[in-house]
Amino acid sequence: MTVPILELYPAYEELRDEIDAAMLRVAESGWYIGGPEVEAFEEAYAHYCGAGHCVGVGNGLDALHLALRALGVGPGDEVIVASNSYIATLLAVSMTGATPVLVEPDAATHNLDPSRIEAAITGRTKALLPTHLYGQPADLDPMLDIARRHGLRLVEDAAQAHGARYKGRRVGSHGDAVAWSFYPSKNLGAMGDAGAVTTNDRELATRVRMLGNYGSSTRYVNEVKGVNSRLDPLQAAILRVKLSRLDEWNGRRRAVASTYTAELAATGLALPFVPNWADPVWHLYVVQAPDRDELQARLDGKVQTQIHYRIPPHLQGAYSELGFTPGSFPVAERLANRVLSLPIGPHLSQADVDLVIRAITRRSSP
């Protein structure tokens, strides 16, 4: 028996009656695009995040892309992203026609290192786009300060950070716009693709909605070349059910993380570092090991693990145009060679947590 890295079905099982009722309600409502379910979720999620506005879109990549476009990012511009982020963060920048500019993360937090940002700013820089990687907020205050001083916009990739707090306040309205994914495996996950942008700027929200609706705010009047990226009412109805459990489920993730942190302290693995101003939501529990591949092979068959992410974006074929080589971003490369994600989730049993700990701490098992 292998402990799976993640299981999605138990989330449905726990909420079956409510989710079935929500899906049926949409089927019977006759509203299959937009409408009351989408509006109700947008209102609930904005309220949850402490943001003035929430605009549902088709997925997290579109949320990033539309937030950037709505802020005026386009061809010729540069956007600063972390060199160890998920490829979607860069792709969203490329979709606007702008160029992603990579800046190394802080090796302890895995998040964009504020002290390295200013050296990367040029006359073309338009925005900063930090990722709250693994569910831990990036250090936003110094970034907000840099953005203010250089006249830049701040967009956050919060696809892994639903419910996370920075200095006590939930992620969702620190920057100009915050992009969310509700991909099924995220802390708040739909049963298909879904995403959203939150912001305190009413005009920006209107612009994101217009861009995601064919560039139109009045039917058959198209102001700009938009795209089709809207939150599906079925997903909105399901998400509203799951939002009511988000804090509880994040709490269960936190409990698993504390157990790992206590029980793995003596293993020599580098465990996640949490700054005192961060309240992470443990989308992933990522350890570092110099012999990562051997550790993964040793756990194989007992514990399923994953690597987020094995190839940093600058060494991906998709970004060969940037002309980077191994050694271009040593912090990101070192992390890519050392990180290993352990199973974590709201439905991981105590028995499974114990199995993971035993498999790691017992160097040789039969």
Ligand X SMILES: *Cc1c(COP(=O)(O)O)cnc(C)c1O
- Residue whose CB is less far from ligand X, 84 or 200: 84
**Cβ proximity to ligand X, 193 vs 279, nearer residue:** 193
| Min dist. Cβ of residue 202 to ligand X (A) | 25
Buried/exposed code over 118-137 (b: 16+ C-beta within 10 A; e: otherwise): eeebeeebbbbbbbbbbbbb
Q: State the minimum distance, in angstroms, from the CB of residue 191 to ligand X.
A: 13
> Nearest CA to 134 among 304, 300, 273, 331?
273
Residue 3 main-chain phi, psi, to 5 deg: -75, 120
| Residue number, 165 or 298, with CB nearest to ligand X | 165
CA-CA distance, 79 to 152, in Å (whole number)? Answer: 9
Residue with the CB atom nearest ligand X in the bound state: 60
Question: Please, which residue, 88 or 286, has the CB nearer to ligand X?
Answer: 88
CB of 67 to ligand X, least distance (A): 12
Token pair, residue 356, equals 């993971």
**60 or 272: whose CB is closer to ligand X?**
60
Q: How far is the CB of 161 from ligand X (least distance, A)?
A: 9
Class of residue 114 by CB neighbours under 10 A (exposed 0-12, middle 13-18, buried 19+): buried
Q: Compute the distance between CA of residue 127 and CA of residue 182 in angstroms, rounded to an integer.
A: 24
Which of 159, 151, 172 minimizes the C-alpha distance to 89?
159
CB 73 within 8 A of CB 98: yes
Pick between residue 186 and residue 292 the one whose CB is nearest to ligand X: 186
| Binding residues vs ligand X (CB under 6 A) | 59-61, 86, 88-89, 131, 157, 159-160, 181, 183, 193, 195
Smallest separation, CB 143 to ligand X (Å): 16
Cβ atoms 278, 163 nearer than 8 A: no
CB of 4 to ligand X, least distance (A): 19
